Amino acid sequence: MKISVFGLGYVGAVSAGCLARDGHRVIGVDPVPAKVALINDGRTPIIEKDLDVVIERTVREGRLTATGRAEEAIGDSELSLVCVGTPSRGNGGLDLSYVRRVCEEIGVALREKTERHTVVVRSTMLPGSMRDTVIPTLEEHSGKRAGADFGVCINPEFLREGSAVFDFYHPPKTVIGEIDRASGETVAALYSGIEAPLIRTDVETAEMVKYTDNAWHALKVGFANEIGNICKELGIDGHKVMQIFCRDTKLNLSPYYLKPGFAFGGSCLPKDVRALCYKAKSLDLDLPILNAILPSNERQIERGLRMIMEKGSKRVGVLGFSFKAGTDDLRESPVVEVIERLIGKGYELRLYDRNVRLAGLVGANRDYILNRIPHLSRLMVGSVDEVVDFADTVVIGNGEPEFRAVPSRMRDGQALIDFVRIVEGATRGGYDGICW
């Protein structure tokens, strides 16, 4: 394939060199003459392991060249990768000026081109950037329509500085956000020889994936550092602790818990986070990540409460109020907290949870209901139907399987608020998911 790569920094230079190494004919484009000269002389414009060898060889074999002229590159390629920087503005916002400028140049060049061309953005951009900036700019300056007259995709990169060449050939995943099928097929062909999960999705999801990855990586670094700081003050080897922590790939390093939904609760997580933060405070440690966990959880409870109140009805039914499905544990259940606040605001409620039946409860849970929340027992009913028949707003509080049929049993005019995504893709009128 004939490919042009706009921007010869870390992402662009690595992408250009590796694609040329794979047998494609690549033209690098950069406004900095020194970078263009280095490439054409067979030298790398950046310091990156193995890239010097890749560029020297591909230039010598005639598969990689560079230019400062966009129209030349577009005229001699069928696909363009946009790899320019997206730095921060002074206020923390994203600066898309380089992306916009390159899209203007590409658009002007496309105006005179008769063959179909595909524009692929590898630059990291916030959701909405493709729809609001890239596509309108390309269309304005080309006089053509995206998806019809030319293709557009976003293909976020997952390259680490220092191992970028290795990462190009061994990515954790390949993500293609496409506005039309043909464009996605063209981009997917670039990675046909790479063994990695290939995910084709909409452009907004692809844009957000990159930010989710980076925020998670940053959070992991900060989390490990805060645990390490506590360990140091207690005379514990923090590396040993985290090595053992990372051995757990069932819960710790896994998709478990990483699903948007309602707040956490139960007898373990709240009290243990609270105790750890108290211990850190007693050691005069300032740990903003750990200290933010419980306040963040409280914000999700407030979000759920606000969603219910915004529906405008005082008749509310709650299905499932133990802290998670398959248990009768009500201790620090976030759904119970929502119920308490609704009662305090004068709402009429009916509650159902097959696992929370007063007659069958013993020990701590029975004591908790009778002595801490006795008023809830008077609101409990014996079936899902009693809740659905009573309420104008129905809340699904946990993921009990029997609640999956609830959306189909709702009547017109009823609101359904889902804290757990009980049904994938529920789109009936009145349905509202807390994080989707």
CATH code of residue 32: 3.40.50.720
Shared-domain flag, residues 140 and 218: no
Structure tokens at 129: 């950037």
86: annotated binding-site residue? yes
pTM: 0.90
Shared-domain flag, residues 186 and 241: no
- The catalytic site residues sit at 268
pLDDT in tens, the chain (436 residues): 999 999 999 999 999 999 999 999 999 999 999 999 999 999 999 999 999 999 999 999 999 999 999 999 999 999 999 999 999 999 999 999 999 999 999 999 999 899 999 999 999 999 999 999 999 999 999 999 999 999 999 999 999 999 999 999 999 999 999 999 999 999 999 999 899 999 999 999 999 999 999 999 999 999 999 999 999 999 999 999 999 999 999 999 999 999 999 999 988 999 999 999 999 999 999 999 999 999 999 999 999 999 999 999 999 999 999 988 888 888 889 999 999 999 999 999 999 999 887 556 666 667 777 777 778 888 999 999 999 999 999 999 999 999 999 999 999 999 999 999 998 866 677 899 999 9
3-state SS string for 149-193: CEEEEECCCCCCCCCHHHHHHCCCCEEEEECCHHHHHHHHHHCCC
pLDDT at 5: 98
Query: Among residues 291, 297, 296, 252, which one has the least CA distance to residue 274?
Result: 291
Please name the residue that has the structure tokens 């390159």.
102
Report the half-sphere exposure of 417 (CA within 13 A, side-chain side).
25
Which spans in 191-251 are helix H? 203-233, 238-247
Question: What is the Cα–Cα distance from 287 to 205, expressed in whole angstroms?
Answer: 32
Shared-domain flag, residues 335 and 231: no
257: annotated binding-site residue? yes
Query: Among residues 105, 145, 114, which one has the least CA distance to residue 6?
Result: 105
265: annotated binding-site residue? yes
Question: Which residues are bridge partners to 349 per DSSP?
Answer: 316
68: annotated binding-site residue? no
User: CA-CA distances (angstroms) from residue 199 to 178, 205, 251, 382?
Assistant: 11, 11, 24, 45
End-to-end CA distance of the chain: 39
pLDDT at 23: 96
Shared-domain flag, residues 359 and 315: yes
pLDDT at 361: 62
Shared-domain flag, residues 114 and 209: no
Shared-domain flag, residues 70 and 137: yes
311: annotated binding-site residue? no
Shared-domain flag, residues 66 and 212: no
Shared-domain flag, residues 57 and 98: yes
161: annotated binding-site residue? yes
Query: How many structural domains does the chain have?
Result: 3
Shared-domain flag, residues 227 and 321: no
Residue 352: inside a domain, yes or no? yes
Residues 6 or more apart whose CB falls under 8 angstroms from that of 426 comprise 407, 416, 418, 433
Question: Which residues are bridge partners to 94 per DSSP?
Answer: 88
pLDDT at 358: 56
Residue 38: inside a domain, yes or no? yes
258: annotated binding-site residue? yes
Structure tokens at 347: 């709402």
Sign of CA pseudo-dihedral 173, 176, 181, 186: negative
Question: What is the Cα–Cα distance from 411 to 388, expressed in whole angstroms?
Answer: 9
Hey, what amino acid is at 129?
Answer: S
Residue 267: inside a domain, yes or no? no
Domain termination site, one of 185, 201, 217:
201
Shared-domain flag, residues 189 and 310: no
Please name the residue that has the structure tokens 């380089």.
98
How would DSSP label each residue in 298-316? HHHHHHHHHHHHHT--SEE
Shared-domain flag, residues 307 and 182: no
| Residue-range definition of the domain harbouring residue 239 | 203-258
Is the distance from CB of 44 to CB of 51 less than 8 angstroms?
yes
259: annotated binding-site residue? yes
Residues 6 or more apart whose CB falls under 8 angstroms from that of 249 comprise none
DSSP state of 430: T
Is the distance from CB of 400 to CB of 325 less than 8 angstroms?
yes
pLDDT at 426: 65
Is the distance from CB of 399 to CB of 325 less than 8 angstroms?
yes
113: annotated binding-site residue? no
Residue 406: inside a domain, yes or no? yes
Residue 284: inside a domain, yes or no? no
